[in-house]
Amino acid sequence: MVSSRDQDPSGVHVRRYGRDTPEFARVANLSDAVFAIAMTLLVLALDAPDVPAERLAAALAAEVPHYVAFVLSFVLVANVWWAHHKFFGLLAWLEPRIIGLNLGLLGLVALVPFPTSLIGAAPRTGAAVVPFVALFVLVHVVFLVLLVRAHGLRAWRIPMPRGLYPWLVAGWLGHLTLMVVALAIALVWPIGGLIVAAASGTAVGVTMAVLAPRAYVEWG
């Protein structure tokens, strides 16, 4: 399939790049590369203590906040990558606005190592934790807009099961809501904000596994 120009449901002409076009492959490859680099750069916040052997245990213990920050960020970014991987797997084609939104998402992901280093250095400080949680709030906002855009254009590779779309929106709104709650908590209790952010994916996943239709597992 070559790139083509079609009408979206509102009648506006949009340029489409099918799954087998170089344009689609370049966007997918760029996306995986940004996620991979961001996840790899997280380790740069971890330093091997340059201390005598007898003080190594104490020095490693002092670095525990950095280790926790690494694990938390890696898990959160990995969850976003998994959702992004499934999202791209379900797309039949891309168009300029989806590509633009995807670039915005990648820009946010690329920023993650910086606030991760902040919370590793000062996990009890709101000035460190609030930017970290706020960044993931924005990630979830952009991903939700991506979902809405793709569905509005009927860009799916296979037909979406009837009645599933509201569940998908509910799932991402659940993630977003918990991140906003984490952000509000972080303003007064930074550690509490991090705890809520860390638990948000599991909480939504368990809830949707119980309530959502079976097709949600493939699409959500």
Provide the token pair at 104.
């915005």
- Write out pLDDT tens, residues 144-199: 999 999 999 999 999 999 999 999 999 999 999 999 999 999 999 999 999 999 99
Packing angle of the helix pair 190-211, 165-188 (nearest 10 deg):
160
Question: Is it the case that residue 2 has pLDDT exceeding 50?
Answer: no
pLDDT at 40 (0 to 100): 96
Report the predicted TM-score, pTM, of the whole model to 2 decimal places: 0.91
| Band of pLDDT at residue 137, cut at 50, 70 and 90 | very high
Residue 12 binned pLDDT confidence (cut-offs 50, 70, 90): low
Beta bridge partners of 13: 7
Cα 90 to Cα 68, 129, 133: the distances in Å are: 33, 34, 28
